[in-house]
Amino acid sequence: MAADGEVREARERLDRLLGYLAQDRHNPALLRDAAAAAMAAQDFAQAGQVLAVLDDIGQATLADRNLAGLAAMQGGQAGQAADIFSALLAEHPDDPGLRFNLAWALALTKDYAAAGALLDDRLTAALPQAALLDVQLLHDAGAFEQGAERARVHIANHPDYPPLLAAVSVLALDVEDQELARHCAVMGGAHPDALTTLGTLTLGDMDHAGAQGLFERALATDPESPRAWIGLGLARLAAGDGAAAGPMLDKGAGLFGDHLGSWIAAGWAYLLAGDYGRARERFEHARQIDPAFAESHGSLAVMDILAGDGEGAGRRVEIASRLDRESFSTAFAQALLLSAAGDTEKAERIVALALKQPLDASGRTLADALARLAR
C-alpha cells in the first residue's frame, strides 16, 4: 500500500536524521526535521523526545510546542497533550487552533464538559473540525435535539466539509430527520459515515442489495466502523440470511461495546438462523449490560417459549411489559405465547416466518424493529 511505503520512507529518513543528531544533538534544524520525520513515520514517542530537546535548549517555537502536543495526543498521551495545549492557550488566548487542539485533547481524556465549553460559536464558525467535534460530543452525550439544532448552523457555515456532513447525517438518523440525513450523506461523498447513512436509508427502502453495496464500500475505507458492520448484518438479515448476518452483527456490537440494540439484533440473527444457543448468549449479554432494557427480557421470553418454558416466558413478558409497553420483542413473545400455546414446533414455524410479518397494526415488521433498534 502507498501509505505503508510512505511510512517506511519516513522511517528511513528518521533513522538518517537521528544518526546526524548523534553528532550534533542540539542542532535546531536537524531536530525539527527529525520531529517531522518521526510524525510521518508514526513514531510519536520519538517525535516527543526530539521536540523536548528543542524545548530544553530554548529553541522551541509555538509551532514546535504545538507539534509536541499533537505528538502526545496521537501517541495516546491525551492528558499530557491537554497540559501542553492548556499552557500554550494561556500564552496565546486568541489562537483558534490551540483552542481546538485543547478541546480535542480534553475530549480524548473523556472530560467532555470541559471540551464542549471550549467549542463556542466563534470557534465552530472559524474551524470546520471544531464544528465536527461539537456535533460528535453532543451526539455521544445523547443530546440529539440540541445537536441537530447546532448541526444545522454548522453545515450552513461549512457546507463543503465532508467529515462534518457525514457526522450530521448519522445524527439526523437518530432524530428521524431523513431529509437532512439524506442531504448530508449525499454531500458527504465517499466518507464511510456518509455511505453508512445512505446504506441505512436504502435498507429502509427495502433495497437490500443496494444497501449491502453501500455498507461494503464504507467498510473498504473503514474496516472498524461499527455502524457499517451493523448495517451490513441487517442487510443480510433482511435478505433472509441470518447465518451470515450473525457474525457481522457480532462484529459491530463488539466494536460498539455497550450498544444494547446491536447485541439484540445479533441475537435475533442467530435465532432466525436456528442457533438458539448463540442467540440466548447475546440476549443475556444485553441484559447484563442493562437489566432495565425491555428488549432483552422480551427476546429471552421468545427463547423460553422455544425451549418449552411457557411459565418462564410469561414472567419475562411481565417484566418487559412493565419496562416498555412498546417493546417489539415483548409484543412478539406475547403473540407467540397465544399462537403456539405450548407447541414448540409451531412456535419454531412462526419464528421462521417472523422477519417480514407485521408485528402489530402499524405494519412494522421484525426487520424494521431491529433496524431501528440497532442504529
Of all residues in the chain, what percent carry a pLDDT higher than 90?
Answer: 82
Cα 151 to Cα 137, 159, 254, distances in angstroms? 11, 11, 28
Predicted confidence band at 48 (pLDDT cuts at 50, 70, 90)?
A: very high
Residue 364 CA to residue 199 CA, distance in Å, equals 19
Q: What digits encode the pLDDT tens for the residues 101-146?
A: 999 999 999 999 999 999 999 999 999 999 999 999 999 999 999 9
- What per-residue confidence (pLDDT) applies to 205? 87
- What per-residue confidence (pLDDT) applies to 373? 67
The angle formed by the CA atoms of residues 158, 143 and 186, to the nearest 5 degrees, is 40
What is the distance, to the nearest Å, from the Cα of residue 137 to the centroid of all Cα atoms in its chain? Answer: 12
Q: Does residue 361 register a pLDDT over 80? A: no
In sequence order, what DSSP letters do the residues of 159-179 get, joined into one string? TT-HHHHHHHHHHHHHTT-HH
- What per-residue confidence (pLDDT) applies to 336? 83
- What per-residue confidence (pLDDT) applies to 353? 60
Q: Are 27 and 39 a contacting pair, CB within 8 Å? A: no
Predicted confidence band at 367 (pLDDT cuts at 50, 70, 90)?
A: low
| CATH for 249 | 1.25.40.10
Q: What digits encode the pLDDT tens for the residues 288-342?
A: 999 999 999 999 999 999 999 999 999 999 999 999 988 889 988 988 887 767 6
Domain tally for the chain?
A: 1
Mean pLDDT of 25-41: 96
Residue 204 in any domain: the answer is no
Residue 266 in any domain: the answer is yes
Predicted confidence band at 5 (pLDDT cuts at 50, 70, 90)?
A: confident
Q: What digits encode the pLDDT tens for the residues 154-182?
A: 999 999 999 999 999 999 999 999 999 99
The angle formed by the CA atoms of residues 60, 66 and 69, to the nearest 5 degrees, is 110
Cα 148 to Cα 152, 244, 304, distances in angstroms? 6, 35, 41
Of all residues in the chain, what percent carry a pLDDT higher than 70?
Answer: 92
Residue 321 in any domain: the answer is yes
Residue 126 CA to residue 200 CA, distance in Å, equals 32
| pTM, to two decimals | 0.85
The span from the first CA to the last CA of the chain, in angstroms, equals: 33
Residue 31 in any domain: the answer is no
- What per-residue confidence (pLDDT) applies to 332? 86
Residue 364 in any domain: the answer is yes
Residue 48 in any domain: the answer is no
Q: Does residue 345 register a pLDDT over 90? A: no
Range of the domain at 243: 224-375
In sequence order, what DSSP letters do the residues of 236-304 get, joined into one string? HHHTT-HHHHHHHHHHHHHHHSS-HHHHHHHHHHHHHTT-HHHHHHHHHHHHHH-TT-HHHHHHHHHHH
Residue 299 in any domain: the answer is yes
Residue 190 in any domain: the answer is no
